[in-house]
């Protein structure tokens, strides 16, 4: 089984999803249980994945490699390393919780919702496992249709606008990457070893101008996905209109695919361009952290606030990744670069749990009151004490309180950034204030104070189902916050390898990266 | 010349097709309205047997001159013919229901379609300008009549009239270009023209001839600025005729392009590559932008066709064997997707209800989830979303454009694909996001439902397993 574990992880959810849809709306009870069983089976398959993973080596593991389209050297190649493994497990966990959180909430086309969610899970796991660039692209794009349907069918009043915007933004970003991949493939053809393998792209020599073009092609795809300022505007719309489960998947997993893309493509394939343009990426990341943080402060809609908070937090991921490449040059040790990459990765995983929890929490309130406006609430803690306790915890995590996972990643990134440039680090550290401000202010207005109105007075505290969702997320946030070592250890060899790849100059370097400190 | 019957073996497919045409013609005289279904059966059998004859003689790299050099039997022709037959068989299945519901179930339809197929056969395997023109006109004349099949419909008559006038002008221009080439080379044989053109001819005259030849070609494909007939024909013609005209002739046109450009004018490849790139650019832009504004599904598909022609032209840049293989693959997948989309229109149409407004599809998912899912697959495939086959055909043509040195055009085309996604998504949006406004009846006959289901699922199946198909295309063209 371990030879085809990754294939099972991809196709069990897809097949389960198709069967779930096939159950039809008449038997939606059966469909729900089938979907839940499939997602739990997928999660269970992550156990042998975790235990069988050798955390001492950086090479790809659980590799499967078959010819797919021989005429164009496209291969079905799967594998996981220290970057992919945590993200695969995150995907499997979040999907189970998404299905549970949707259990009684989704009331139309139930079988289709559960089925499409599972199909989406399969595609997302596929993205993280693909080692062939075309296979990666296929999964990367295939995700769009299920998400398009999730927002469009089960979303809020303005869902059509939001979902089409989501689709076109991400589609536009990724077609540039497609042309980039075709270019890279034709380069391998010219050198006589035609291949779409990501590893052969990574080791391919490229001129500086080609690297810059490719860097921007990749940037278009991943900056939209993650999303970075200024191509982030689809995200608040999509989040606000998406159903709770859709928002959870979007924030917890889909955004991570952007960060994962930078790790897989931008940094190793175009290291020199990445280093030269690191200043741009760092600047955009800082804008995301500070400016978007301020924007979040002004939001009246809870989902919109969390969406902006997501953009701001993902700014730390791009900051960590691109400060790492600045730190990888002109240094005797790569420790600082390692720290930055680890910080970015921990931030991704941590944000996956925290943002999923925040959206699930808003979903809990929305299901009862049918409003996402902050002003519609007040004093919720009086009627929903358990819920309020959990949400205050998540709010603390979101604002980076030590002891929660939110602290670990941000702290590592800031620490590493300080070694490159104190001012940038100081700017990034502002998030600790801003994050606390917008999150806690929202918590204050929603949960504390007098009971605001009759709706709040009639609220019932969370039931067992909701407690399972929020409780398990709280457990993960706390676990990573207190004991991040297993997570950091499992990615360590891969982090070292990436940092090493960053230092390999593909072209003779004449320009020093803008952010590198003088030796 | 022909000395024994054995010499006729290479044109066996054409002979079989002709025999069945005669059979259909004769049978039509003796069957009445109720039993006219038998014509459908005969036509399908004829297509299948012709296909068998094509496949039996298929041999990669082999080419046999026939009829004293007027035609050639080669793997390229065989491949295109088999694809044409496949698409025609699917189209006939869809068309039968449409003809019945609109009271147009007449023998002439089958006759005209089969004649058009014969025309395409001559077109793709001609090695002589006269033969090529003959095939082209046989196809075109059948097409005009097919559009005018519903003679009581003013809109169909108007479409036929436009199609005829524009088509006749295009044929005339092509003929003019051919006559100049004849004047230069003194021959109508394509290979002799190629040799003559390669040596010391006046560039101005050649460019003149080339322009006219390309105009004729662009009209056949429906590339901008020779696209005007497409929206009217798609909208005005009976759906049964549209679905045929929209699909199979595009595959044949690749054969025509091959015989005319790399075949007859290889030394001008830089020039025609440039012109084709320009036509591709215009088709991509106009097709995609104009499609956004359409509310009628047939007209939307018409502009979508124009944009697909733009993509297809990317594969013709450079005129390499691999490029033409990509073009063939593209045309086949395009034909499958478009035929399927029209198949859905036909499946939902009834007497007095054409099901051709996009709004007619509101809430289809809640009424008929399976049919909505098929349409979803077809639309997503037309938009080029992986893992559906429409993505991979776009991948191949983009790759050819980059290889031919047109990286910028590949980028423009990729952006156009995004613009295109918008109007395909709108159909999905209407089916899935909107609430149904009326009862939607789906009472198509079993064979149509079956073929339609296969057609939709083929988008996934071919998307996952397009390797053998593309290998076959490469084998035939290399």
CA of B418 to nearest chain A CA: how many angstroms apart?
6
Q: What is the pLDDT of residue B366?
A: 85
Can you tell me the mean pLDDT for A41-65?
88
Contact between chains at A72 and B433 (C-beta distance less than 8 A): no
Q: Which helix H or strand E contains A74, and what residues bound it?
A: strand A74-80
Enter the pTM of the model: 0.92
Can you tell me the mean pLDDT for A433-462?
85
DSSP B357: B
Q: What is the pLDDT of residue A516?
A: 53
| From B376, B414, B422, residue closest to A176, measured CB to CB | B414
b/e per residue, A135-147, with b = 16+ CB within 10 A?
bbbbbbbbbbbbb
Angle at A382 between CA A380 and CA A383, to 5 degrees: 75
> By CA distance, what is B402's nearest residue in A?
A183
CA of B303 to nearest chain A CA: how many angstroms apart?
20
Q: From its phi and psi, is residue A488 left (phi > 0), alpha (psi between -120 and 50) or beta?
A: alpha
A chain contacts of residue B402, beta-carbon cutoff 8 Å = 179, 182-183, 186
- Angstrom distance (rounded) from CA B96 to CA B98: 5
Task: Supply B377's token pair.
Answer: 């697959």
A/B interface, count of CB pairs below 8 Å: 87
- Angstrom distance (rounded) from CA B407 to CA A180: 10
Burial class (CB in 10 A: 0-12, 13-18, 19+), A265: buried
> By CA distance, what is B463's nearest residue in A?
A138
Can you tell me the mean pLDDT for A98-113?
88
In the numeric block, the tokens 């390797």 are attached to B467
Can you tell me the mean pLDDT for A408-429?
87
* A15-24 tens-digit pLDDT: 999 999 888 8
| A200 HSE (CA, 13 A, CB side) | 21
- Average model confidence (pLDDT) across chain A: 88
A chain contacts of residue B421, beta-carbon cutoff 8 Å = 167-168, 171
Measured CA distances, B418 to A172, B87, B331, B406, B412 (Å): 6, 27, 20, 19, 10
B chain contacts of residue A175, beta-carbon cutoff 8 Å = 414-415, 417-418
Q: What's the structural domain count of chain B?
A: 1
Q: What is the pLDDT of residue A513?
A: 53
Q: What is the pLDDT of residue A519?
A: 40
| From B387, B402, B471, residue closest to A186, measured CB to CB | B402
Sign of CA dihedral B110, B113, B115, B117: negative
Q: For residue A2, how many other CB atoms are within 10 A of its CB?
A: 11
Contact between chains at A171 and B395 (C-beta distance less than 8 A): no
* A375-406 tens-digit pLDDT: 888 888 888 888 889 999 999 998 888 888 88
Percent of chain A past pLDDT 70, that is, above it, reads: 97
Q: What is the pLDDT of residue A25?
A: 82
ipTM: 0.91
Contact between chains at B470 and A178 (C-beta distance less than 8 A): no
Domains of chain A by residue range: 277-513
Query: From chain A, which residues contact B within 8 Å (Cβ)?
Result: 24, 68-72, 109, 112, 134, 137-138, 141-142, 144-145, 148-149, 152-153, 159-160, 163-164, 167-168, 171-172, 175-176, 178-179, 182-183, 185-186
Closest CA to A356 of A473, A274, A442: A473
Tens of each residue's pLDDT in chain B, 478 residues: 556 677 777 888 899 999 999 999 999 888 887 888 889 999 999 999 999 988 887 777 778 888 778 888 888 889 999 999 999 999 999 998 888 888 888 888 999 999 999 999 999 999 999 999 999 999 999 999 999 988 888 989 999 999 999 999 999 999 999 999 998 888 889 888 888 888 767 788 888 889 999 998 998 888 888 888 899 999 889 999 999 999 999 999 999 999 999 888 888 888 889 999 999 999 999 999 999 988 899 999 999 999 999 999 999 998 888 899 999 999 999 999 999 999 999 988 887 777 888 888 888 888 888 899 999 999 999 999 988 999 999 999 999 999 888 999 999 999 999 999 999 999 999 999 888 887 777 777 888 889 999 999 999 999 888 888 888 888 888 8
Going by pLDDT thresholds of 50, 70 and 90, the confidence category of residue A2 is: low
In the numeric block, the tokens 């830089």 are attached to B270
Sign of CA dihedral A331, A333, A336, A337: positive
Contact between chains at A144 and B387 (C-beta distance less than 8 A): no
Mapping DSSP to helix (H, G, I), strand (E, B) and coil, where does residue A65 land?
strand
Q: What is the pLDDT of residue B333?
A: 94
B chain contacts of residue A145, beta-carbon cutoff 8 Å = 376, 380, 385
Is it the case that residue A429 has pLDDT exceeding 80? yes
Write out the residue range of the structural domain in which residue B123 sits: 5-477
Better pLDDT: B134 or A70: B134
CA of B419 to nearest chain A CA: how many angstroms apart?
8
CB A356 within 8 A of CB A94: yes
Closest CA to A136 of A166, A181, A179: A181
B chain contacts of residue A163, beta-carbon cutoff 8 Å = 429, 433
A chain contacts of residue B391, beta-carbon cutoff 8 Å = 138, 141
Q: What is the pLDDT of residue B2?
A: 56
Please state the φ and ψ torsions of residue A463, each to the nearest 5 degrees.
Answer: -90, -175
Can you tell me the mean pLDDT for A404-426?
87
CB B304 within 8 A of CB B291: yes
């Amino acid at each position: 089984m371990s030879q085809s574990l990754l294939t099972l992880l991809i196709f069990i959810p897809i097949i389960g999803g198709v069967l779930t849809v096939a159950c039809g709306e008449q038997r939606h009870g059966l469909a729900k249980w089938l979907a839940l069983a499939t997602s739990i089976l997928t999660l269970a398959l992550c156990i042998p994945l975790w235990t069988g993973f050798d955390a001492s080596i950086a090479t790809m593991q659980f590799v499967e490699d078959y010819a797919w389209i021989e005429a164009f050297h496209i291969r079905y190649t799967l594998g996981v390393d220290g970057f992919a493994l945590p993200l695969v497990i995150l995907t499997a966990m979040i999907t189970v919780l998404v299905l549970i959180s949707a259990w009684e909430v989704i009331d139309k086309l139930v079988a289709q919702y559960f089925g499409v969610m599972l199909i989406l899970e399969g595609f997302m796991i596929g993205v993280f496992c693909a080692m062939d660039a075309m296979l990666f692209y296929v999964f990367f794009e295939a995700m769009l249709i299920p998400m398009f349907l999730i927002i469009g069918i089960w979303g809020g009043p303005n869902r059509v606008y939001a979902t089409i915007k989501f689709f076109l933004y991400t589609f536009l970003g990724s077609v540039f990457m497609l042309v980039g991949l075709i270019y890279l493939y034709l380069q391998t053809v010219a050198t006589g070893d035609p291949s779409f393998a990501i590893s052969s792209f990574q080791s391919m020599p490229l001129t500086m101008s080609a690297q810059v073009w490719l860097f921007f092609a990749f940037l278009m795809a991943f900056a939209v996905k993650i999303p970075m300022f200024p191509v982030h505007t689809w995200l608040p719309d999509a989040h606000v209109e998406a159903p709770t489960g859709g928002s959870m998947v979007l924030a917890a997993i889909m955004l991570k695919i952007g960060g994962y893309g930078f790790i897989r493509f931008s940094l190793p394939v175009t290291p020199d361009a990445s280093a030269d343009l690191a200043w741009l990426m760092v600047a955009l990341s800082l804008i995301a952290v500070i400016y978007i943080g301020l924007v979040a402060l002004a939001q009246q809609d809870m989902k919109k606030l969390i969406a902006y908070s997501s953009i701001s937090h993902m700014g730390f991921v791009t900051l960590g990744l691109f400060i790492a490449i600045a730190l990888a040059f002109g240094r005797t040790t790569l420790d600082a670069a390692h720290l930055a990459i680890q910080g970015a990765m921990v931030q991704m995983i941590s944000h996956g749990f925290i943002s999923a929890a925040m959206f699930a929490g808003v979903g809990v309130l929305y299901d009862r009151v049918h409003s996402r406006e902050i002003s519609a609430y007040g004093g919720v803690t009086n009627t929903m004490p358990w819920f309020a306790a959990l949400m205050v915890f998540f709010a603390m995590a979101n604002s980076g309180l030590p002891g929660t996972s939110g602290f670990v990643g941000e702290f590592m990134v800031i620490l590493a950034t300080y070694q490159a440039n104190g001012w940038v680090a100081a700017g990034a550290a502002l998030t600790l204030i801003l994050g606390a401000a917008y999150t806690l202010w929202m918590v204050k207005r929603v949960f504390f104070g007098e009971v605001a109105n009759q709706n709040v007075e009639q609220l019932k505290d969370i039931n067992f189902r909701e407690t399972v969702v929020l409780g398990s997320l709280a457990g993960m946030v706390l676990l990573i916050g207190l004991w991040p070592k297993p997570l950091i250890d499992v990615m360590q060899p891969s982090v070292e390898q990436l940092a090493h790849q960053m230092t390999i100059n593909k072209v003779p370097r004449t320009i020093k990266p803008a952010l590198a400190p003088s030796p | 010349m022909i000395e024994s019957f054995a010499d006729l073996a290479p044109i066996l497919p054409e002979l079989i097709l002709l025999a069945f045409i005669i059979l259909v013609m004769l049978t039509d005289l003796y069957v009445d309205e109720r039993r006219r279904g038998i014509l459908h059966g005969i036509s399908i059998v004829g297509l299948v047997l012709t296909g068998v004859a094509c496949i039996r003689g298929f041999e990669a790299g082999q080419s046999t001159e026939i009829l004293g050099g007027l035609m050639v039997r080669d793997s390229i022709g065989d491949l295109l013919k088999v694809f044409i037959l496949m698409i025609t068989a699917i189209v006939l299945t869809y068309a039968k229901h449409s003809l019945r519901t609109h009271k147009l179930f007449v023998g002439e339809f089958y006759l005209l379609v089969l004649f058009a197929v014969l025309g395409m056969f001559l077109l793709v395997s001609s090695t002589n300008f006269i033969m090529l023109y003959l095939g082209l006109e046989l196809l075109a004349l059948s097409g005009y009549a097919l559009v005018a099949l519903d003679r009581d419909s003013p809109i169909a008559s108007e479409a036929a009239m436009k199609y005829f006038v524009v088509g006749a002008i295009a044929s005339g221009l092509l003929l003019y270009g051919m006559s100049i080439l004849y004047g230069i080379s003194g021959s109508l044989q394509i290979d002799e023209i190629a040799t003559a053109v390669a040596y010391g001819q006046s560039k101005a005259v050649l460019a003149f001839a080339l322009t006219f030849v390309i105009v004729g070609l662009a009209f056949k494909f429906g590339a901008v600025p020779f696209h005007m007939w497409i929206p009217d024909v798609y909208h005005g013609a009976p759906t049964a005729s549209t679905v045929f005209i929209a699909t199979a002739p595009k595959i044949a046109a690749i054969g025509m392009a091959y015989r005319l450009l790399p075949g007859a004018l290889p030394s001008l490849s830089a020039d025609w590559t440039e012109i084709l790139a320009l036509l591709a650019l215009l088709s991509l832009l106009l097709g995609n932008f104009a499609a956004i504004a359409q509310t009628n599904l047939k007209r939307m598909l018409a502009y979508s066709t124009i944009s697909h022609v733009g993509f297809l032209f990317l594969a013709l840049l450079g005129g390499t064997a691999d490029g033409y293989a990509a073009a063939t693959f593209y045309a086949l997948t395009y034909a499958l997707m478009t035929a399927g989309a029209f198949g859905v229109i036909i499946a939902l149409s009834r007497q007095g209800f054409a099901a051709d407004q996009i709004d007619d599809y509101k809430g289809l998912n809640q009424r008929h989830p399976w049919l909505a899912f098929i349409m979803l697959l077809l639309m997503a495939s037309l938009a080029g979303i992986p893992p559906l086959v429409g993505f991979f055909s776009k991948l191949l043509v983009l790759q050819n454009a980059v290889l031919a040195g047109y990286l910028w055009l590949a980028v423009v085309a990729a952006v156009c694909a995004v613009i295109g996604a918008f109007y395909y998504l709108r159909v999905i949006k209407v089916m899935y996001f909107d609430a149904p406004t009326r009862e939607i009846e789906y009472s198509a006959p079993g064979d149509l439902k079956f073929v339609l289901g296969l057609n939709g699922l083929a988008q996934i199946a071919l998307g996952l397993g397009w390797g053998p198909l593309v290998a076959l295309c490469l084998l035939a063209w290399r």
